[in-house]
Structures are given as structure tokens and as C-alpha cells.
Structure 1
Amino acid sequence: MAIHPLRQRVTGLMQAAGVQPDGPGECDPRILDDHFYGRVLREGSLGLGDSYMDGWWQVGSLDGMLYRLLRHGVDERVHGLRSRLDDLRAWLLNLQAGRRALAVGERHYDLGNELFEAMLGKRLVYSCGYWRQADGLDDAQEAKLDLVCRKLGLRPGMRVLDIGCGWGEALKYAAQHHGVEGVGVTISREQADYARKLCAGLPVDIRLQDYRALAGDTADSSFDRIFSIGMFEHVGAKNYRAYFEVARRCLRNDEATGGGLFLLHCIGSNVSLRHTDPWIARHIFPNSMLPSAAQIASASEGLFVTEDWHGFGTDYDRTLQAWRDNIEAAWDRLPPRYDERFRRMWRFYLAASMATFRARRAQLWQLVMSPHGVPGGYDAPR
């Protein structure tokens, strides 16, 4: 029997990555609907993810299969129409300005705190842990918060700004362990409400506010230290310069001491792009994108001296695996709105993220910057 050309082409692409449709291995997908082949060729990664959500295929090791496809560049050989349209949209529009800037808060971070409480562990820290000496997720997240505070040299009495404060865990840690006072901004109403309760009794002010609304020209908006953990991925290339200008404006300016310090913790791309993966944009992080090293350097040029650039992207694979273990153990305790289709979407999201870091297609960076350069140099903690 002749093999249909669409099936033959998809099978050939997968085989080049060591993946065999309907094969015997744990990374070999079992195809349950033959429309899968045409959909993947028409829609690229969007078709692959959506067909998984629709139950058209299943696989023993989802992250293992996606890792093989990414490692061998299969995604670069199949581009759907949605990817081309997203590229055009990003070229014509500022996708992270005005009402569009609020979309990720409404559609992702406001999904429900019970979902993130079940997944993230002891602390609601939705970013990469630091696993150098950690025995588990909670230890890795505490080590990351400790690392951020040590890199910034936090001391009692300092005033600290958290751009994209999430559920307030980093500011709470800094206030409790280093005696600082802080301001955190987020565009998620659910996060802001949670963070205010979490930080009750501490000198921490949580604001439901876009980062661009930070003035930086009054005592109320002037800070000794600034950090931003896992938020820069939502800023967008057209706004990178404005983001660094806000941080620079809000940082106290003392040339004799080199000024304050700004720590940026973000996922990074190996290449400069204008938009994110179409499936991620549709279902997980609308209007998001990963910055490249070149984009960060260009946007911060003339505003900051980069004192330290620390990469530990392989730690994100371990963090994501821990999140997957947590959420898989919790599904039956969560509300019915997280139905089977949602669970398949969430599994694909976590597995694709693991595969991306494992294949070294994405990085995790912590940058420490100063306005004028630290006199005598900056000694970077690890």
C-alpha cells in the first residue's frame, strides 16, 4: 500500500530526529488520527500542540519527543501560516502596549491561584530555581532568592523595587531576611491581591500597575536597588529601550558610588526574534517574546554598565520537571474548570519548555547592572 505523501514527509522529518510515528520507543508518538500529518505541515508547531490537545496523538515521554525534534531543528523546517502572520503582526504593531500589554495577566496569571499553588511548591515563585546545592524545588527557589539578594548587596533600610513582582515572594524574602522596604508592580489582579496578603505587616507596597507608569522623578519612585524576575519576557522588542529607561530613571543616581544596582533575571533566546512560538502565544503567554543577548545589550547601551552576566539555563529543565511532578499529583484536587483539555494543554506547555532548555534553544540569564560602573569593580556572588 502506498504511503500518503503528507504522512511520508512528516514521518521523514521525525525519523531524522530519531522519532518514529507509531514506533516502539517512549519518544515515539502513537498517531490516533491521520489528519495529524496534514495539520502539522500546514500549521507547524501550532498544529503539533493543538492536535495533542485534541487527542490526535499520544506519547510516553512528551518532553523526550519534543527535545529530539528541537535538538535536530525539525521546527525550523516546518513553518505554518500562523507563524508568518505573527511575524507580520509584530512588525506592524506594538504587541505589548496599551490594552495588549494586559493580555498576559488576564489570560495566564489570572488563571487561578490554586493552579499555581499546586504547581510551584512552598513559595509561589514562577521562575527558574538555582540548583547548585539544592536538594529539591523549594530549596532551589530559596537559593535563587538568596542569590538575587546577595548579588544586589541588600542591607537594612534600603528601598527596593520589584518590576513584575508576581505573588510577592521575592519582596517578602528580601524584607524578612535583609530588612529592606519595597514596592512591587504587577499587571495581574490575582497576583496583586495575593501579594498584599502575603506581605501584610511588612514594609512592602504592592501596586496593580504597568511598569511604564513608574515615574522615577520623585522620592516615592526612587530606589536603592531594583530587581525584575521573569517579567522581561513580556516586554517586547519595541519596548526594551523604554523598559531600561524606566529602570534607570527609578534607580538613585550617585556617581561617587556608581549609583544603585539593577538585577534582570530572564529567559533568553540564542537569536533575535520579534515574536514567540505560535502555540505558546495562542494558549500560554500572549504577546510574549524572548530577548536575545544582542537586544538586551543594544537596549541598555548608554544607560547601564553590565557588571555581571550569569547563565544557568539548564537549571530550568530541573525546575520545570519539579513543577510537572507537583501538578500531576494535584489535578484531582483542583476545580473542574481545569478539565482534560486544559491538562493536555498544560502538559504540552511544560514539556515543550523542558525540551527548549534541554536542547539549549533557550537560556536563563541574570544580569547585574549599574548606572556608572561600580568603583573598583563588582565582585559577583555565585
Structure 2
Amino acid sequence: MTQKSTIVALLADAGVVVNGPDPWDMQVHDERLWNRFLAEGTLGMGEAYMDGWWDCADVAEFFNRVITKTVDKNFRPSVNLIWQTVQARLFNMQTITRSRRVAAMHYNETDAYRASLDDRMTGSCGYWPEGVVNINQAQEAKLDMVCRKIGVKSGQKVWDIGCGWGAFMGFAAEKYGADCVGVTVSPDQAAYGRERYKDLKVEFQVKDYREFTGKVDHVVSMGMFEHVGYKNYRAYFEAARRAISDDGLFMMHTVGSAHTTSTIDPWLEKYIFPGGVIPSIAQIGTAIDGLFATVDVHNIGPHYDKTLMAWSENFAAKWPKDRDAQGERFYRMWQYYLLCCAGGFRSRALQVWQFVLSPKGVPEGYVTQR
């Protein structure tokens, strides 16, 4: 079989017809795609999409079908993936110095985040219980649930590890009377948050989580652990344990994988999450051993599919329509990121876990919050 026919057959097995009539069918505009995919794997596939070599009316469903059928397992690992894996094994790719460089890259597209996210600029999975119909409501439902999970009371101090633009801190201070301190390695995020929440008890510190020295009643962290790196998992939980009171609660929200890995997809690593790693339950369990008792685990993975689709719709509606070639390539990159990830969560290859951790357990028993 030729290179093209091999891939076409594998896609057909996943219910995807090349140049077919369904919205999840791949429409190929440049026949060089096949060699590029075989030579460069998913990195080449993503870059080919950015370059307009192929299209799909429903990219999220395309990836749902391809990932569900594990089409990628039929190909040898690309050179890019092999090199990423070697680097991750030999070096700590998420040192304090590297974390600042990553922030400069990851959060330098502030306008794209503004166009995609909810009104609070919440950069993690929303929560869509019955009756929630839009992304603003979904994020407020998630933030409220997190406050209830840690049982925060007025006047208590909460540390937000990787606080982003301050959505949680602003909500907890406004709605629950919390006194919040957050760390971010992005000066731009801190500047935004300081201005927006200047009238609330909210403090932004531009530093790595390993440099935090405060003492707090509770700790939260949402969408941060994916950037920590498996060599630093223990240090991350040790930092939380040093800061939290013995009777406090730590709510840690992270994307999760059923498999232990040391790196992520090469395209996502290059363009969106440099240094990112998706943790497994086994890795988290080892990292918290002797530091925390697990009092609750909540899987809200399906909610990230809906969140990413809402972000994609926002971005399409708000991003400038008069784009030059470079602007069009960025638009396609950002949509590819949102939609391929939506497919990953739809296929259930990716999860979202919310752990509630206690330094010494909850003597009277933890009351689950949903």
C-alpha cells in the first residue's frame, strides 16, 4: 500500500472519509500532506492544518473519532516526539528559570485569551450542571463549587497556585469574603489582576510556586499542575503542605491521563504548552504520599469538551475577520488547539480531576460538594 492509502484506510476505520460528505471528514487541499504526516507525525499534521493543506468542518469530532480508534498508534514515533521524550528524561524541563520563559511564550497571546475565555478570564475547565447554558455561567458554577469544596469562610486566607488572571481569587473575595494571595510567573497576568481586583482583598505575587513563603488556611490550584512537570510533582505538593494549616483543605484541579507519560503531543508542546505534561493518578498518588490524605476526587472531564467548544465559538465571533496570511495562520492555530483538545476530552482519552486533599484528614468526615 502507498503512504496515502495506508492513512486513508486507517481514517476510514475511524469513520472518517477523506474528502467525504460528513462534517468530520478530512478535506485535503495539498497532496504533500501524506508525506508530511508520515515524516513529522502529529506536529506535521497540525502545521499542515495551520498552512491550509487540509480542513474539516468539525475538527473536534474528527479528533474524537481518530483518538477513539487510536489511529496514531499505527505509526512510528516521530523524531520530534523521541527528542522531547529524551529531553524530559535527561533534564528538568520545568525549572524556575524555564517556567518564566514558558510563561512569556504561553501567555503572550493575551488578545486570543480575551477573545476566547469568559468575562472573568478563567483559563480552566468550566462546570456545566443542569440549567447552565453559557461559558460565563459555567465558570461561575465551577468557581463556586471550588469555594464550597474547600469550605472557605470570610476572613480566611487562600493561596492560589498559578492564579492566572485572578478569576478564582476575585470570585472568592467578592462572594465569600476570602483574603486571597496568588502566584503567577506572568507579569502581564498580575498587572491585569491587580487593576481589575484593586478594591478586593486579592494579592498577586510574580514568582514561581517554589518561591512562596506564606502561611494560609486553604490552597487551590486550577490548570497549573499540567505545567509542573513530573520531576517537580513532589516539590509542588511540598510547597502546598508548607503553606497550608493542618486543618485546611487543598483543591487541586488538573487535566489527567490514564497513562503515565513524560511529555505531551509535539504540536501542543511547540505551539501551546511548552514543557507541559499530563499527569496520571499513579504519579499524583506517589507525589502526595505522606503529605496529604485524599478526601475527594471528582472527574469533570466531559465538561471540558463543552468549555473548549464555547471558547472556540467565542474566538470565531470576536477575532478580527480582516486577516492577512500571518493572521490567518494564527487563527487556524488557535482554533486547532481548542478543537483538537475538545476531541481529546470527548473521546475520554483526557480527564479533568478535582482532588480535595487534607494534611491530616477530616476528623468529622468530608462532605462531598458538587
Q: TM-score, normalised by structure 2?
A: 0.96
Out of 306, 314, 330, the residue aligned to residue 318 of structure 1 is 306
Give the match for residue 145 of structure 1. Answer: 143
Q: CA deviation at 1:103?
A: 3.1
Q: CA deviation at 1:376?
A: 2.1
In structure 2, how many angstroms separate the alpha carbons of the residues matched to 1:47 and 1:117? 28
Out of 282, 289, 306, the residue aligned to residue 294 of structure 2 is 306
The alpha-carbon distance between structure 1 residues 209 and 337, as it changes in their structure 2 partners (threshold 3 A), is farther
In structure 2, how many angstroms separate the alpha carbons of the residues matched to 1:318 and 1:38? 34
Q: CA deviation at 1:336?
A: 7.2
In structure 1, how many angstroms separate the alpha carbons of the residues matched to 2:202 and 2:209? 17
Is residue 251 from structure 1 mapped to residue 244 from structure 2 by the alignment? yes
Give the match for residue 235 of structure 1. Answer: 228
CA contact (8 A) 1:110 1:189 kept: no
Give the match for residue 122 of structure 2. Answer: 125
Give the match for residue 316 of structure 2. Answer: 328
Is residue 11 from structure 1 mapped to residue 8 from structure 2 by the alignment? yes
Is residue 23 from structure 1 mapped to residue 16 from structure 2 by the alignment? no
The alpha-carbon distance between structure 1 residues 289 and 334, as it changes in their structure 2 partners (threshold 3 A), is farther
In structure 2, how many angstroms separate the alpha carbons of the residues matched to 1:243 and 1:364? 18
In structure 2, how many angstroms separate the alpha carbons of the residues matched to 1:96 and 1:13? 36
- Structure 2, unpaired ranges of 5+: none
In structure 2, how many angstroms separate the alpha carbons of the residues matched to 1:292 and 1:281? 18
Out of 33, 39, 50, the residue aligned to residue 42 of structure 1 is 39
In structure 1, how many angstroms separate the alpha carbons of the residues matched to 2:299 and 2:324? 39
Give the match for residue 192 of structure 1. Answer: 190
Deviations 1:178-225 (A, max 9, x none): 11111110011211110111110212110111001013xxxxx00001
Give the match for residue 172 of structure 2. Answer: 174
The alpha-carbon distance between structure 1 residues 16 and 209, as it changes in their structure 2 partners (threshold 3 A), is same
Q: How many residues align?
A: 368
- Structure 1, unpaired ranges of 5+: 216-220, 254-258
Q: Detail structure 1 runs of 4+ shifted over 4 Å in the superposition.
A: 333-338
Q: CA deviation at 1:334?
A: 9.1
CA contact (8 A) 1:29 1:57 kept: yes
CA contact (8 A) 2:96 2:208 kept: no
Query: CA RMSD, aligned part only?
Result: 1.5
The alpha-carbon distance between structure 1 residues 338 and 172, as it changes in their structure 2 partners (threshold 3 A), is farther
Q: Report SS of the residue matched to 1:271.
A: coil
Q: CA deviation at 1:277?
A: 0.6
CA contact (8 A) 1:305 1:371 kept: yes
Deviations 1:291-320 (A, max 9, x none): 101111110010000000000100000011
Amino acid at match of 1:237: Y
Give the match for residue 347 of structure 2. Answer: 359
The alpha-carbon distance between structure 1 residues 334 and 107, as it changes in their structure 2 partners (threshold 3 A), is farther
In structure 1, how many angstroms separate the alpha carbons of the residues matched to 2:346 and 2:74? 20
Q: Report SS of the residue matched to 2:319.
A: helix
Amino acid at match of 1:129: G
Amino acid at match of 2:173: A
Amino acid at match of 1:148: V
Give the match for residue 218 of structure 1. Answer: none
CA contact (8 A) 1:110 1:191 kept: no
Amino acid at match of 1:184: G
Q: Which moved more, 1:22-31 or 1:198-207?
A: 22-31
Deviations 1:230-262 (A, max 9, x none): 111000000000000000000123xxxxx2110
Out of 258, 261, 265, the residue aligned to residue 253 of structure 2 is 265
In structure 1, how many angstroms separate the alpha carbons of the residues matched to 2:322 and 2:207? 29
Q: CA deviation at 1:36?
A: 0.6
CA contact (8 A) 2:18 2:28 kept: yes
Percent identity over paired residues: 42
The alpha-carbon distance between structure 1 residues 303 and 334, as it changes in their structure 2 partners (threshold 3 A), is farther
CA contact (8 A) 1:164 1:231 kept: yes
Q: CA deviation at 1:24?
A: 2.4
In structure 1, how many angstroms separate the alpha carbons of the residues matched to 2:108 and 2:193? 13
Amino acid at match of 2:144: D
CA contact (8 A) 2:103 2:186 kept: yes
The alpha-carbon distance between structure 1 residues 198 and 338, as it changes in their structure 2 partners (threshold 3 A), is farther
Amino acid at match of 1:161: W
The alpha-carbon distance between structure 1 residues 36 and 108, as it changes in their structure 2 partners (threshold 3 A), is same
In structure 2, how many angstroms separate the alpha carbons of the residues matched to 1:177 and 1:333? 38
Deviations 1:122-170 (A, max 9, x none): 2100111110131211111000000000011111110110000000111
CA contact (8 A) 2:118 2:139 kept: no
In structure 1, how many angstroms separate the alpha carbons of the residues matched to 2:322 and 2:356? 39
Q: TM-score, normalised by structure 1?
A: 0.93
In structure 2, how many angstroms separate the alpha carbons of the residues matched to 1:294 and 1:332? 44
Q: Report SS of the residue matched to 2:220.
A: strand
Q: Report SS of the residue matched to 2:109.
A: coil
Q: Report SS of the residue matched to 1:339.
A: helix
Out of 138, 146, 162, the residue aligned to residue 160 of structure 2 is 162
